[in-house]
Chain A
Amino acid sequence: MSNTEPVNLSKLRSYVGDSDSDVKDMINLFLQIIPQQKEKLQKAIQERNWGNLNYTAHQIKPSLDILGLSEAKEKAKVIETLAKTGTEEKLMKQLVDELSQELEDVCNELTSSFNKEDDSNTMEPLSK
């Protein structure tokens, strides 16, 4: 496990209410979507398709924000800004790699917590 920033579910709960099943549904959705977004980011940087990179980085920001991943969100914001002009390609690649890694770590952490939660029937490990 890397030292990626921890997920915070308080904002998510403020949107969907206190129902654990709703929180679970949303995390499941997050786990489905984020790997696809990560792929899109990687593909865009490989193809030097700055339009797609800008769009995907823009699109992913709210989801990261909802789970309290503010550092990852800031990284996505920088990628979005740089991709607008297509300059600083090296920096963009570095940031996309870092963000991809963080997203992967977050997904792993969430999956692992889910498995634990299934045993203990509680979401506590993720709630901050």
Chain B
Amino acid sequence: MKAPMNTFKIFVIEDDPFYGELIRRHLALNPDNEVFLFSTAKEALANLHISPHLISLDYRLPDLSGMEVLKRINTTNPDIPVIIVSGQEDINTAVELLRMGAYDYFVKDDHTKTRLWNAANKIRENLMLRTELSELKEEVGKKYEFGNILKGNSQEMQRIFRLMSRAIKTNITVSITGETGTGKELVAKAIHYNSGRANKPFVAVNVSAIPNELIESELFGYEKGAFTGATTRKIGKFEQATEGTLFLDEIGEMGLNMQAKILRVLQENELTRIGGNTVIKIAPRIIVATHRNLADEVRKGNFREDLYYRILGLPIELPPLRDRGHDILILAKHFSDTFCKENELPAKTITKEAQDKLLDYTFPGNVRELRAVIELACVLSDSNNIDASHINFNSTNSLSDFLLEETSLAEYNKKIIRYFLVKYNNNVNLAAKKLDIGKSTIYRMIKNNEL
């Protein structure tokens, strides 16, 4: 981060003591400004450790030319804006200085003080915005620290943390798989915000949410006039993420035609906007995610094998919540504490009965579902406890509903056979074949009114 913005430090380098003092006093009329006056370049250069936020530099100095001073400042402190203030009106000099990186060039005239004042205000505002942005980025980075983003002590999660630690050290493509609600995008963000690209954009694209006919323009962008409605140039997601990370969520839903185009871009590290001719070099870090088994999709012919190998990179398979044992309770406590804090409710304790109920459940919606269950429990509870009656599952998954109704194995068998008979239109042969049991078993159960 830059120097703190308690005061905005300005160097005025001016060999005319009268004019220099005048500028110093003028800029100091703003109490936020701390103005330092130097009459020689060498004196100013020796004090650059003060880290000025702006330098007003007289072009003609007794010891060094303005051009030489600008060169030296650019070498050692390239971020400091330097405004050249000169009595000369030579346009070539002004152009050359601006080309060398001067922030601006003012001729000493009646408008100099206003221009300097306005420029200082503008630079100070920009600096404050940059500082704010940098602080926000730092905050986001903290938010995405592994321990903050992914709660859990299970061996499964320790394995995930180790893989993520490897992922952040290089730009290797990462492919994240896992059931819905396991936190694939959070993992992608955590990798980005802990990598060397943390200060560059994280661009997320949910492939399944964009219609096929729009995905190409969304990813590659287009030139003005490329098609009806393309009234302005649009920069695509690949370009937006070129120095950062492009997260392609649900890549398994991408059509084969688009897969071929993506493969080319990933192989060549370049693209052409729709309707454009210019080849644009790109270098985003790619993280992909899918809830599908891509290897299966390749076998079925739904996903290109060459693209599969291109994006496989470092595979991270997120475990379903039901396989994470007591992580369920750690997460439940975390969600409860967070929700209560955000809603100014007193912190709640999850009773033993409620914990058992959570541990017995299969969470088909994974962490996302757990969060919703806990937040509802916090709302339903009038006391400082969350007990079993506050834990309500509204799963749409028939298997979890099925398992929730605890019953005997014989009853489970009947339910399974009934399910298959319905599924295959009461075709006993097919149901028996699918279940790998004798069809006589089913006929017998029908005869005995067991189904």
Contact = CB atoms under 8 A, between A and B. Distances in A.
Interface stretch (B11-19, B42-50, B179-187, B351-359): B11-19
B29 A17 contact: yes
Given A58-B60, A61-B87, A16 B25 contact: yes
A55 B29 contact: no
Nearest to A27: B18
B62 interface: yes
A26 to B, nearest CB: 6
Contact of B108 (A29, A30, A62): A62
B26 interface: yes
A29 B22 CA distance: 10
A63 interface: yes
B19 A55 contact: no
Contacts of A2: none
Interface in B105-149: 108, 110, 113
B216 interface: no
Interface in B40-60: 60
Given A55-B60, A58-B60, A58-B87, A63 B25 contact: no
Nearest to A54: B60
B19 A63 contact: yes
Given A11-B110, A15-B113, A55-B60, A60 B16 contact: yes
Contact of B26 (A16, A30, A58): A16
Interface residues of B, number: 17
A12 B110 CA distance: 11
A60 B87 CA distance: 10
A11 B111 CA distance: 11
A59 interface: yes
A26 B23 CA distance: 11
A26 B28 CA distance: 14
B139 to A, nearest CB: 40
A22 interface: yes
Contacts of B87: 58, 61-62
Nearest to A61: B87
B22 A12 contact: yes
B21 interface: yes
A82 interface: no
A14 interface: yes
A61 B96 CA distance: 24
A18 to B, nearest CB: 11
Nearest to B28: A16
A58 B60 CA distance: 9
Interface string A1-22: 0000000000110111100001
Contact of A59 (B15, B22, B29, B113): B15
Nearest to A62: B19
A77 to B, nearest CB: 9
A11 B26 CA distance: 12
Contacts of A60: 16
A22 B25 contact: yes
A15 B26 CA distance: 5
Contacts of B62: 55
Interface in B71-96: 87
A95 interface: no
Contact of B17 (A17, A33, A58, A65): A33
A26 B26 contact: no
Nearest to B62: A55
Contact of A15 (B17, B25, B108): B25
Contacts of B17: 29, 33
Interface string A37-63: 000000000000000000100111111
Interface of B: 15-19, 21-23, 25-26, 29, 60, 62, 87, 108, 110, 113
Interface of A: 11-12, 14-17, 22, 26, 29-30, 33, 55, 58-63, 65-66
Considering the complex of A and B, which 4 residue pairs feature the smallest CB-CB distances, nearest first?
Answer: A62-B19, A63-B18, A15-B26, A16-B25
